[in-house]
Structure 1
Amino acid sequence: MMKRITLLLTTLLLVAGTTSAQQESFVKRITVKGYGQIFAEGGYFANGRKSATFDTNKIEILGIGKITDQWTMGVTVQFNKPVMLKDLYMQYAFMPELKVKIGQFKTPFGHENQVAPFLNPLAIGGSMPTVYFAGVGMDPLYYGTAGRDMGIELSGDLCNNLLTYKVVAMNGQGMNAKDLNLGKLFGGSLYIRPIEGLSLHTSYLGGKQVAMGAAKGIQAGESYMRHRVSAGVIANYQPISLSTEYMFGRDQKINSMGAYLTAAIHLPERYDLVLSADYLQPNMEQKGQLYTATLGVDKWFYGNCRIQLQYRYTHPTEQVMLPVAKGHTLRTQFQFAF
């Protein structure tokens, strides 16, 4: 609790100090955004276990500053379980075609990882393959990173936004952690927009990492080679928004794969009908698989504020060895954003 209070007070003092010390012209260059998600959820699972709870999903404050026309900075702090610094970076734009960013930020792997949770159609914030392959959770070797790492990134938009690229070199140990070996993660992503409303996306992230836990014959603290590749399609044609992606991974010599398909059908009065299905096989040498299906309705009532009612069914097979139970959950989630 003291760490949370200390971080909160430090953040407030930094903001106040910066505001008072700078000229009004610079203050106008600072933008503060944020969102919170609160939910009530009930579940019934195959082992007879039941659950019913109120909880917070995410509470985050985002600060973006335009220091000069070329220099920008960003900071994101999560204020719920646990309080943590998620983003802290500076970026210099030589031109729209070439920008350099250094600090802590999202890795370029996966399209869904690039979408903020308050804009993702799924109330939980993402599909199971994205959670697993981007290092958000479930993978004993690499987890709890929120899809982020520390490093340097080159990016830019080419040919009148027809192409968008990113190239990175990163520590490979997630957020707020220095590298534990001499290896680095290298990767990048590419968006191609051949026609309006359609985007083709591919990404790669791989290199030598230090295992956070034991799995797939790799021991905790051991260095291993990790590779992740994705390819997807994003289509936005009223009244449907569609996102689908295939992911493949390799940890040492063990292969894994997964895919998801999420659709939002935009109805009158800013209602969305949400349908999603995904598949994950963390070890292709074994039969273990995880299937997830989601059906729900979202109501956007002001800006990015919404109410979500979503039913989710999870079906792990006995051999999958993931911390997910077979069963049904129903969530009502309230989201505010500013």
Structure 2
Amino acid sequence: MKKSIMLAMVLMTAFASYAQNKPASWINNVKLSGYGIVQYQSSSKVNDKSNSFNLRLARVSLDGRILDDFYWKAQIQFNGNTTDLGNSPRVVDLFAEWQKYGYFKIKAGQFKRPFSFENPMHPVDQGFMSYSQITSSIAGFNDRAGAHASNGRDIGVQLQGDFLPNANGRNLLHYQVGVFNGQGINVKDVDQRKDIIGGVWVMPVAGMRIGAFGWTGSYARKRTVDTDHGKVTEILSLPQRRYAFSAEYVTNDWTFRSEYAHSTGLAFKTRYQKPENATDFELSKNGDKAQGVYALVIAPIIKKKMHAKARYDMYQPSGDASKQKTFYEVGLDYEFCRNLKLSGEYAFVNDRSLTKHNYNMVDVELAFRF
């Protein structure tokens, strides 16, 4: 796997150099870019204390245009190891999008699911030490259904666009809808059923978005068992129904954002991170409902340079307060320039699934991009 990733990196770099030095008429604007996030995090959780430096993310991407109307992108995440599907080097993005018309674009390949405002945000720009719990658990990062870590992505086809321009030419309405395998990144469909995910939002004033999202589909596993009649293939498909409501207002370097998400559907007990997990049919005891909400504010101290921030982040994995987990976060960040950012946070955590509910976290991150 490591050799494959290194080969892909070499090919991406060589292709970018060739395209920039000897551009063809059918391909242009090829760009090699990437980013990394170095992290220090400590936690006082009882029986699970931690105090460690970490490579949170390291990614390299190549993107460009073909025949002017097509945008394409390939992105690889290469931090981690090769024995754990949650952390191993892997392709995260590989897609092409026809963008001739702003009101009707078609994207195909592997990319972000069109669910929630936060899911498609760049990790450096998202604002906090991690995505919210609902984004992680209900939008497909570390999905509650038991799928392997997929960073909110899947394989499929999507339509999207913006229309209804006002007098100033600013579009007031956005839509997006896609059909996906439902199994996460780099995995084929298992139950031959597809996920349909979509959203729509209005933009009544500059910087403001108010949206709603829906998701219907399934997550499945397959195994082979021995019977009196020979080997038989079994498939267990768990229906998933989800929705979310979102609101955001970004103005004059201030950011306000809040989202609520709800999920209905059973989940597997083990997460698919190793090959043996893919055949484990045991179900989670959390039941068939989950929900959560977050609200945040990012305020400028020095405009476009230094910010104070706070976030309330609550998630109920069982649909009620019995296992509710809540983060109360405050922090600061400083942007040396657009490509270099230092941030720090303190979080008080209340986790009702633990014997000792409360613990503290400190997180410091240095993010850079090129």
> Which residue of structure 1 aligns with residue 34 of structure 2?
34
Aligned to 1:165: 175
For residue 193 of structure 1, report the CA deviation from its aligned partner. 0.1
Answer whether contact 2:156 2:180 (CA < 8 A) is retained.
yes
CA distance in 2, matches of 1:17, 1:299: 35
For structure 1, which segment, 158-167 or 271-280, has the greater mean C-alpha deviation from structure 2 after superposition?
Answer: 158-167
Whether 2:327 is the aligned partner of 1:327: answer no
1:259 corresponds, among 280, 284, 293, to 293
Residue type at the aligned position of 2:238: Y
Structure 1 residue 49: deviation in Å? 4.3
- Cα distance, 1:239 vs structure 2: 4.8
Residue 2 of structure 2 aligns with an amino acid whose one-letter code is R
Q: Residues 325 and 24 of structure 1: is their aligned pair in 2 closer, same or farther, counting only changes over 3 Å?
A: farther
Of residues 21-30 and 112-121 in structure 1, the stretch that sits farther from structure 2 once superposed is 21-30
Alignment of 1:64-75 (within 5 A): 64-75=63-74
Deviation at 1:240, TM superposition (A): 2.2
TM-superposed CA distance for 1:254, in Å, is 2.0
Distance 1:99 1:64, change over 3 A: same
Equivalent residue number for residue 98 of structure 1: 104
For the residue of structure 2 that corresponds to 1:159, the secondary structure is: strand
CA RMSD of aligned residues (A): 2.5
Percent identity (aligned): 23
Q: What are the residue-to-residue correspondences of 1:129-140 with 2, within 5 Å?
A: 129-137=134-142, 139-140=144-145
1:10 is aligned to 2:8: yes
2:121 to 77, 100, 115: 115
Q: CA deviation at 1:238?
A: 2.7
Deviations 1:143-164 (A, max 9, x none): 4111000000011111232111
Q: 1:48 & 1:319 partners in 2: Cα distance?
A: 10
Q: CA deviation at 1:250?
A: 0.4
When residues 138 and 317 of structure 1 are mapped into structure 2, their CA distance, relative to the original with a 3 A threshold, is farther
- Give the aligned residue type for 1:50: K
Larger Rg belongs to: 2
Match of 1:179 among 186, 189, 192: 189
| Matched-pair contact (CA < 8 Å) for 1:150–1:170 | yes
> Which deviates more, 254-263 or 13-22?
13-22
* Cα distance in 2 between the residues matched to 1:72 and 1:63: 11
User: Distance between the aligned counterparts of 2:306 and 2:251, measured in 1?
Assistant: 16
Determine if the alignment matches structure 1 residue 154 to structure 2 residue 186: no
Task: Give distance in 2, aligned partners of 1:211 and 1:244.
Answer: 33
* Equivalent residues in 2 for 1:157-306, closer than 5 Å: 157-160=162-165, 161-210=171-220, 222-252=236-266, 254-268=288-302, 270-284=305-319, 287-306=322-341
Task: Give runs of ≥4 in structure 1 deviating > 4 Å.
Answer: 25-28
Distance 2:338 2:361 in 1: 27
Following superposition of structure 1 onto structure 2, how do residues 78-93 of structure 1 map, counting pairs within 5 Å?
78-81=77-80, 82-93=88-99
Distance in 2, Cα, partners of 1:245 & 1:185: 21
SS of 2:322's equivalent? coil
Aligned partners of 2:180 and 2:334: how far apart in 1? 38
Q: Compared with structure 1, are the counterparts of its residues 52 and 172 closer, same or farther at alpha carbon in structure 2 (3 Å cutoff)?
A: same
Q: Report the equivalent of 1:217.
A: none
Deviations 1:154-181 (A, max 9, x none): 1111123211111100000000011001
Deviation of residue 138 (structure 1)? 6.1
In structure 2, how many angstroms separate the alpha carbons of the residues matched to 1:62 and 1:18?
10
Shift of the alpha carbon at 1:54? 1.0
Alpha carbons of structure 1 residues 20 and 239: separation in structure 2 relative to 1, 3 Å? closer
**In the alignment, which residue of structure 1 is the partner of 2:272?**
none
Per the TM alignment, residue 142 of structure 1 is displaced from its structure 2 partner at its CA by 2.9
Task: Give the counterpart letter for 2:364 in structure 1.
Answer: T
SS in 1 for 2:107: strand
Q: Which residue number in structure 1 is paired with residue 343 of structure 2?
A: 308
Question: How far is the alpha carbon of 1:272 from its aligned partner?
Answer: 0.7
Whole-Å separation in 1 of the counterparts to 2:159 and 2:293: 27
- The separation in 2 between residues aligned to 1:38 and 1:319, in whole angstroms, is 29
Query: Contact between 1:287 and 1:319, CA under 8 Å: does it hold in 2?
Result: no
Distance in 1 between residues matched to 2:61 and 2:211, nearest whole Å: 26
Quote how far apart the aligned CAs of 1:313 are.
2.0
- 2:57 maps to 1:58: yes
Q: Distance in 2 between matches of 1:298 and 1:286?
A: 32
The worse-fitting range, judged by mean Cα deviation, of 91-100 and 241-250 is 91-100
Contact 1:60 1:76 in 2 (8 A): yes
- 2:300 aligned partner, one-letter code: H
Give unpaired runs (5+ residues) of structure 1. Answer: 213-219
> Following TM superposition, by how much is the alpha carbon of 1:39 offset from its aligned partner in structure 2, in angstroms?
1.5
